[in-house]
Amino acid sequence: MIVDKIIAEAVSRAVKELYGIDAPADTIVPQATRKEFEGNLTVMTFPWVKAARKAPEQVGTEIGNWLVDNEPAVNRFNVIKGFLNIVIEPTYWNAVLRHIAETPDYGLTAPAADAPLVMVEYSSPNTNKPLHLGHLRNILLGYSLSRIIAACGNRVVKTNIVNDRGIHICKSMLAWQKWGEGVTPETAGKKGDHLIGDFYVLFDKHYKEELKTLKEQGMTDEEAEKASALMAEARAMLVKWENNDPEIRALWARMNEWVYAGFDETYKRMGVDFDKIYYESQTYLEGKEKVLEGLEKGVMYRKEDGSVWADLTADGLDHKLLLRADGTSVYMTQDIGTAKLRYQDYPISKMIYVVGNEQNYHFQVLSLLLDRLGFEWGKSLVHFSYGMVELPNGKMKSREGTVVDADDLMEAMVADARKVSDELGKLDGLSAAEAENVAETVGLGALKYFLLKVDPRKNMTFNPEESIDFNGNTGPFIQYTYARIRSVLRKAAEAGFEIGDYSTVEPGDREIALIQRLADFPDTVQEAGRTYSPALIANYVYDLVKEYNQFYHDCSILREEDRAICSLRLALSDATASTIRTALNLLGIGVVERM
């Protein structure tokens, strides 16, 4: 916050002059004064009591008097025990507001040409099923995080790793061969990822029926699984794929293309993108090569059966398999191969993997292995570990077809937004195209905001009905406030009101509270980037909107007869709208001008 820095620097000078204490300004962190006390900012005096050899109240009083005499931004102060509450000179807030209004891309830091390059990986779908609610939390967190990190002055590369090989892919392929009757997305009138997902579910249905029959014949669960002819066919297909069988590879490529086309549609509607997409089918051999290189260097070791392992016991972990006895790779090997290709493609300073918290151990191991294999960013890689998202009625299971499909959920959210907006009169006077744009923007905004406002480390339950509410901590509430402000500004322009000089106006408590909230935005962005938490941005913009609505309720704008006061309030409204738009943009959420 702008004022924070001024006060911190002034207090630093004060304790040096009064007590001879060196207290760097960056170690002094003024906090917003609690509402029950008079003041805008509060500084604790306890750190200097011992060196000053005075009581906390006396230290606070002496520093406060020094600030009043030497810092123009300070109007008065009061001391409560060891807390120095500072009242900022009211007209000084006007200069703060002017700085906010005149700063292009306020709150954002443009990256320098030599800024650190941060790579963010998110989405990581399998090509045997469409994207679902779990993917949505991953994708929205990753995309928002990439925007926030860029806003903190870093260069960013957004990447995706597609899991396009393995037994799960072969299950869908085999089911299509057996029961598909040559169906395509075009003939089925269905998105390709949905079509392939249907066959993945169909395989599981037939597989369970087969196991049931085998167990009725007297087999145990384990015996039935080993005797399954269907699973044996899927494994045989995987072997053929590994051996580059032309027919299997052609079918695999064809079905994957269907899926990719479906993914692209979903990503586009979601409003997210990637700078580079990697595919496991292109990285697993690279990983195998890197592991063998590590074996030669003594970083890994080979067991008698031919399998390759890494001994991580010195780091408090265990032994990790990297290549099976038959020479095939595991997921860890594929991640090493992907890292190798990425490091070849980009001069990465930091790598952030957006992956659920069930993979915490995996990334502990990956970090150690990449470091041992010579990747400079290996030890500092970040596993952005997030909690699972569930529905009010429980968990989702892809194989049983009980997942909440991302496309269906987005469509339902837009439909709900259309219905609720219409019932509340938010679409009155809009053309059909404008109304549809409002429904799309509000529906997707509700979904995104609800998933992003929660601390990413926590598990959460997504409730569609709560998310679409136009009151409370929701996307629609924030978007509606933005539209309301834009309406005020349009009416002001139509009435010929312009933002004039307001430098001599003494703002009231409501104006000051709102300016102070706006001034917090740059620090909030930096903190969100430092802690990898889009939730900080989401909850900041909600608090900002609440503060504006209090101001809007208590302070007349267009009916204010004093043009200087009117100018101040219009400038404050304009800066608030701009900051709302910027904050929502960091979350990947759009705004509408009319609602």
CB 337 within 8 Å of CB 285: yes
pLDDT exceeds 60 at position 253: yes
**In which band, very low, low, confident or very high, does the pLDDT at 498 lie, cut at 50, 70 and 90?**
confident
Token pair belonging to 285 = 């051999």
Q: How crowded is residue 113: how many other Cβ atoms within 10 Å of its Cβ?
A: 5
Half-sphere exposure of 277 (CA within 13 A, CB side): 14
pLDDT exceeds 70 at position 109: yes
CB 210 within 8 Å of CB 178: no
Query: Per residue in 25-78, pLDDT tens?
Result: 999 999 989 989 999 999 999 999 999 999 999 999 999 999 999 999 999 999
pLDDT exceeds 70 at position 393: no
| Range 119-128 average pLDDT | 96
CB 120 within 8 Å of CB 158: yes
As a whole number of angstroms, the distance between CA 573 and CA 396 comes to 44
Q: Tell me whether strands 117-121 and 83-88 are parallel, antiparallel or unpaired.
A: unpaired
Query: Per residue in 543-572, pLDDT tens?
Result: 999 999 999 999 999 999 999 999 999 999
CB 1 within 8 Å of CB 8: no
| pLDDT averaged over every residue in the chain | 94
| Range 295-314 average pLDDT | 94
**Element containing residue 34 per DSSP (H, E):** none
Question: For position 462, what pLDDT does the model report?
Answer: 87
Fill in the DSSP letter of residue 405: B
Question: For position 395, what pLDDT does the model report?
Answer: 46
Question: What percentage of the chain has pLDDT greater than the value 90?
Answer: 89
Question: For position 153, what pLDDT does the model report?
Answer: 97
Query: Per residue in 318-377, pLDDT tens?
Result: 999 999 888 878 889 999 999 999 999 999 999 999 999 999 999 999 999 999 999 989
Query: Per residue in 338-351, pLDDT tens?
Result: 999 999 999 999 99
Alpha helices in 53-132 (DSSP H): 56-70, 92-102
CB 241 within 8 Å of CB 284: no
Just give the CATH number of 2-89.
Answer: 3.30.1360.70
| Range 241-264 average pLDDT | 96
As a whole number of angstroms, the distance between CA 534 and CA 531 comes to 9
Question: For position 400, what pLDDT does the model report?
Answer: 46
Domain 411-586 has CATH 3.40.50.150: no
Q: Tell me whether strands 276-279 and 301-302 are parallel, antiparallel or unpaired.
A: unpaired
Q: Is 514 helix (H, G, I), strand (E, B) or coil?
A: helix
Question: For position 398, what pLDDT does the model report?
Answer: 41
**In which band, very low, low, confident or very high, does the pLDDT at 1 lie, cut at 50, 70 and 90?**
low
pLDDT exceeds 70 at position 126: yes
Residue 25: name the closest of 40, 6, 44 by CA: 6
Question: For position 397, what pLDDT does the model report?
Answer: 44
| Range 139-152 average pLDDT | 98
pLDDT exceeds 60 at position 271: yes
CB 415 within 8 Å of CB 407: no
Most confident of 63-67, 412-416, 421-425: 63-67
| Residue extents of the structural domains in the chain | 2-89, 165-263, 411-586
Mind spelling out the 3-state secondary structure of 245-276? CHHHHHHHHHHHHHHHHHHHHHHHHHCCCCCE
Question: Does pTM top 0.75 for this prediction?
Answer: yes
Which residue's structure tokens are 């000179």? 89
* Cα dihedral value 561, 564, 570, 571, nearest 10: -170
As a whole number of angstroms, the distance between CA 314 and CA 371 comes to 14
